[in-house]
Structure formats: structure tokens, C-alpha cells
Amino acid sequence: MSGDHPARTSPVIVITGTPGTGKSTHAQLLAQESPVPLRHINVGDIVKDKALHEGYDDEWQSYVVDEDKLLDELEPLASAGGVILDWHTCEIYPERWVDLVIVLRCDHTRLWNRLEKRGYPLNKIQENNQAEIMETVLDEARSSYAQEIVIELKSESTEDLEENVSRIVQWITTWRKDRGEET
Ligand SMILES: Nc1ncnc2c1ncn2[C@@H]1O[C@H](COP(=O)(O)OP(=O)(O)O)[C@@H](O)[C@H]1O
């Protein structure tokens, strides 16, 4: 079943969403404000830095991930708990790893502007924009994990960011209390 890992006293929080929705921004602030130490893992960076891939796809300007290698790399971190997994996809993690899945959402015009500023090529902007409109990541999260641990949050303004992070901080406190841990 999802989430229950007796050895863990700190949760594994997945922050996912279409590129540009604000995953890294949320993960950084959450790592700062969390009542327990949380390590922010930018999964895309690990794939690149540790070469957990089968090469680079020039057309899409992204790495073709070697999922087995990636899961081997993440397993000890997830088992210990106290991590934020920041990536634009979430279905590869085993259910037993994951305590909470945050799916960030953003209005598509705003998202387009964010990706344009990032210098993405047009095909990549279009693909991501379409994915956001079609709720691809949300569907993926809902079909991979128990409904009650998947939370969809709007990420369009600084107010959204601050409110979302304080909601997650409250969730962490409750999660720990439920396990007899004080924060
Ligand atoms: N809630 C938000 N309000 C305002 N700007 C945001 C918000 N979330 C993200 N941004 C901005 O959008 C851009 C992409 O954010 P980032 O966290 O890198 O997205 P991701 O990690 O999902 O690709 C950054 O310039 C960031 O400052």
C-alpha cells in the first residue's frame, strides 16, 4: 500500500507537474521551511550528473532516462525518507516509497511565457503546454497512487507558492504526529 514505511520518521514527498509549473521553486522553499530536514532531489539533474540515461535526444533536447539505474540510485534515499523528489513525471516510483504527491498546475498562457523565458525550443514549449492543458501529469499521478495522497495545487503567483508550502508544512507535522514523532 502507499506510504506506510515503518522505518521512516520523515516523509518522501513527490513534487511533480509539467516543466515550468514551479516544482523546483516549491521544493526549495519547502526544504527551507520544513520542520524536519528534507533533502531536495532534482531528479532531472541526477539523471544528467550521474549519467543515468541512454543518451541525449536532440529533437526534444532531453535525456532518455535509464529507469532501472535511476531507481537503484534513488532507492536508499527513499527508504531513509526525508526527501523531496522533484521531477516532471512521477509514475516510475514504487508506491511504497511515496507519502505525498503534489501536482502543480499553471494557466497555460503563463506557462508558455515561463518556458519561453527559459529558452525552450518551440516544439518543446508546445508539447509541454499541450500536456498541461490535457492534465497529463495529474492523470499519471492519479493512476499511479492512492487518491488521498495526490494533491493538485495551483502555482501561478507568489501567494500560491507561499500558501502551498505552508499547507505542505502542516501536512508534514500531522504526518509525524500520526507516527508518534514530535516536530
Ligand atoms: N507560484 C509561482 N509564482 C510565480 N512564479 C513562479 C511560480 N512558480 C514558478 N514560478 C516561476 O516560473 C519559473 C519556472 O519555475 P521552476 O520552479 O523552475 O519550475 P519547474 O521546476 O516546474 O520546471 C521560474 O522562473 C519561477 O520563478
For residue 17, say whether it is annotated as part of any ligand binding site: no
Residue 62 belongs to a domain: yes
- With a 6 Å cutoff on the Cβ, whether 22 touches ligand 1 is yes
Residue 125 belongs to a domain: yes
Answer whether residue 61 shows pLDDT above 60.
yes
In the chain, % of residues over pLDDT 90: 89
Rounded CA-CA distance 170/101 in Å is 15
Residue 7 belongs to a domain: no
Residue 2 belongs to a domain: no
| Closest atom of ligand 1 to CA, residue 104 | 22
Residue 74 belongs to a domain: yes
Q: What is the CATH number of the domain that holds 138?
A: 3.40.50.300
Closest-CA residue, ligand 1 atom 27, reads 25
ipTM: 0.99
pLDDT tier for residue 6 given thresholds of 50, 70 and 90:
low
Q: What does the pLDDT look like over 99-110, one tens digit per residue?
A: 999 999 999 999
110-131: average pLDDT = 96
Residue 153 belongs to a domain: yes
For residue 96, say whether it is annotated as part of any ligand binding site: no
Q: How many domains does the chain have?
A: 1
Compute the distance from residue 162 Cα to the ligand 1 centre, in Å: 12
Residue 4 belongs to a domain: no
Residue 20 belongs to a domain: yes
* Residue range of the domain that includes 26: 12-173
- With a 6 Å cutoff on the Cβ, whether 25 touches ligand 1 is yes
